Amino acid sequence: MQHTTMPAPALPESRQANNFNLIRLALALLVIVSHTPEMMDGNRSRELLSMLSGGFSFGEFAVDGFFLLSGFLILQSWDSQPSAVPYLRKRLLRIVPGYLLAALLCVFVVGPLAAPAGYFGAIWPRGLGWSVLTLDIPATPAVFAGTHYASVNGAMWTIRYEFLCYLVLLALGLAGLLRRRALMAALLAAVLLLYAAAACGALRPLGLDADCRQFPMLRFLAFFGAGMLYCRWRAQLRFRPHWAALAAAVLAFGAWLGLAELSLLVGGSYLFFYLAFHGPSWLAPWRRLPDISYGVYLYGWPAGKLLLWYVPDLGQFTATALAMALACMCGLCSWHLVEKPALRLKTPRRPLSAADTSFA
């Protein structure tokens, strides 16, 4: 059977014409799959991907995937209106309202449910205000005492790095580098090579460990930049099933060698966009789902922590399933009550696109 070559089209305006929404929801659920067993006893080795890859978790896979997709979609958003004020307005409206609601609920609802008496009196307003202003994990008094990862919302730490990537893209755009493909490619290729060198351990003498955890911005910029490159060359991209199979083999082999993130950048990135534009036809009905992935990501952690705090004998699979269900319900409320109304303030007379709903 002869395979046809399928170009990657310009992203349609409607988010129902591609699989970005569904992929992001799957990634958000994978974060919960990763976090729940670690919350129980701090042991990530029971998580399937960690067992297969020697330590690379579904949570890390999902976060890297978010940044990859975001680089593509946010550059496309910039291309549609390459001006600083509209760009920042769009990005703030997408990321801040949902984050702010989740942060306030974590501080004033989740915190008291997981802390001893005197919680509110121990809040440090300046520290709390700064943490929220910088899109970080909300600074609260001690919560979930005696448990592993005793944070009110340990998943929120990536949000500010997402916004920093937005600012990097803005700086490149204002400097005119995003219009010059060769120079843009050279800059992003330098970031990718630096990340690859760190991932291979070549930068250990400089103080960077093999997985770049001492400098997470390098890791996130690498994936965000890769997404930008896919966006800039989307008209030249070609997708074939056997190339997708080869990309999957590269991803699996790299994970087996202990270079999971590097192989995700090389092979996994192709798979992500192959599925985004040319996924199987049976995925089409799922495109009509509301975009609850941001809310699922934001509420998965507090849902899991509260479940295990009040019902510590829950098994891993039961706790994971219940945390997913609670996070999906919270995500649905967040989408309809906060995120979607905020997005309407961007371009109120135009249907929402995948770029409109992109987040970390």
Q: What is the DSSP string of 189-225?
A: HHHHHHHHHHHTTTTGGGT--TT-TT-HHHHHHHHHH
Q: Structurally, how many domains does the chain consist of?
A: 1
Task: Report if residue 270 sits inside a domain.
Answer: yes
CA distance 87 to 278: 28
Q: Which residues on adjacent β-strands are paired with residue 6? A: 239
Q: 280: Cβ–Cβ under 8 A, 6 or more apart, which residues?
A: none
Task: Report if residue 350 sits inside a domain.
Answer: no
CA distance 220 to 242: 28
Task: Report if residue 360 sits inside a domain.
Answer: no
Whole-number pLDDT of residue 9 = 44
The token pair at 185 is 């490619």
Burial class (CB in 10 A: 0-12, 13-18, 19+), 236: exposed
Task: Report if residue 359 sits inside a domain.
Answer: no
CA distances from 263 to 50, 62, 78, 211, 312 (A): 15, 14, 28, 13, 37
Whole-number pLDDT of residue 349 = 57
**Structural domain span for residue 140:** 6-344
- For 130-180, the pLDDT digits (tens) are 999 999 999 999 999 989 888 999 999 999 999 999 999 999 999 998 888
Alpha helix positions (H), the chain? 20-41, 48-53, 58-80, 84-105, 111-113, 125-133, 159-174, 181-199, 216-232, 241-256, 260-263, 269-278, 293-310, 316-334, 340-344
Residues of the chain with pLDDT under 50: 1-14, 360
Whole-number pLDDT of residue 1 = 37
User: In this structure, what are the phi and psi dihedrals at residue 346, rounded to the nearest 5 degrees?
Assistant: -70, -65
Contact between 201 and 262 (Cβ < 8 Å): no
Task: Report if residue 54 sits inside a domain.
Answer: yes
Whole-number pLDDT of residue 4 = 38
Contact between 34 and 57 (Cβ < 8 Å): yes
- Determine which helix (DSSP H) or strand (DSSP E) holds 239, and give its type and residue range: strand 238-239
Q: Which pTM was predicted? A: 0.88
| Angle subtended at Cα 69 by Cα 67 and Cα 75, rounded to the nearest 5 degrees | 95
Using alpha carbons, select from 8, 19, 31 the residue that is nearest to residue 360: 31
Q: 21: Cβ–Cβ under 8 A, 6 or more apart, which residues?
A: 15, 287, 289, 291, 293, 354, 357
The token pair at 200 is 């291979």
Task: Report if residue 178 sits inside a domain.
Answer: yes
Question: What's the distance, Cα to Cα, between the start and end of the chain in Å?
Answer: 39
CA 332 remoteness from chain centre: 18
Burial class (CB in 10 A: 0-12, 13-18, 19+), 246: middle
Whole-number pLDDT of residue 120 = 94
CA distance 192 to 226: 8
Whole-number pLDDT of residue 353 = 58
Whole-number pLDDT of residue 27 = 96
Task: Report if residue 354 sits inside a domain.
Answer: no
Task: Report if residue 358 sits inside a domain.
Answer: no
Using alpha carbons, select from 172, 173, 131 the residue that is nearest to residue 153: 131
